[in-house]
Structure 1
């Protein structure tokens, strides 16, 4: 699927395929996420979204225009084999505007176009309610894997119906 524009809040949001020059902005978005503050900070402290990652996976960004130009408001990364929503982040200041829901809908469309009927998500604990709200079904629990991730995480699945 190519880029898509949708009005969310006051300004239109465009979803487009990420490119290598987005890598630093995506890395900053991950590392600066308020959802990973406090006890969760270690999970993203050294995390890097590199150009190689962007090239290897279906990574898309939600971009909104502001006074300084285009601003990345969120992004997702879909791994095709095995099918998994590997990353989904919305900038703290852009949350609550429907951008996460827009990214999920785009991901589902990309998954459908790739012939997938299911997409797994290993969720961050604070995102659990979000995945419920956007239609993911809880399928299990990913056990802690210290020191990288010292807590259990809920596992969800998006079921992708054919068109």
Structure 2
């Protein structure tokens, strides 16, 4: 949550700086607060470059602000009878159910969502196993991909596993 607030503040800052840059570029120094404009000011290359960069950042910040209002949280399934939105929490519960009986995986935490056009799942786990970590990780990744495809027809591009603690299990 802190990261989201921090990025929001950063985007607001970019927006304010871009508006300030546009005003600085098109208004003369002695009349910044008045509504006058000198066309000969834009003949200086530094003003044109500064205005161009400011306009680009202004457009990017507007696109970012408007994209915040149409973001879907979850996975959208298009069927013959309409659309079904599966929440992120539902996807997390399917992953928890599939790993619930695995005694080698402890302290499961899940992050999932879209990364561009692809869906990504990140698992934070403690691993208690005598087998190879690479072998067990590959098994978990394939299990998650298969389970989500079987239940939701959701193709996962990346299943990232971050192991915080590893211990060998006594037989």
Choose between structure 1 and 2: higher strand proportion. 1
Higher alpha-carbon Rg: 2
- The TM-score normalised by the length of structure 1 is 0.27
Choose between structure 1 and 2: higher helix proportion. 2
- The TM-score normalised by the length of structure 2 is 0.26
Q: Which has the higher contact order (CA 8 A, sep 6+)?
A: 1
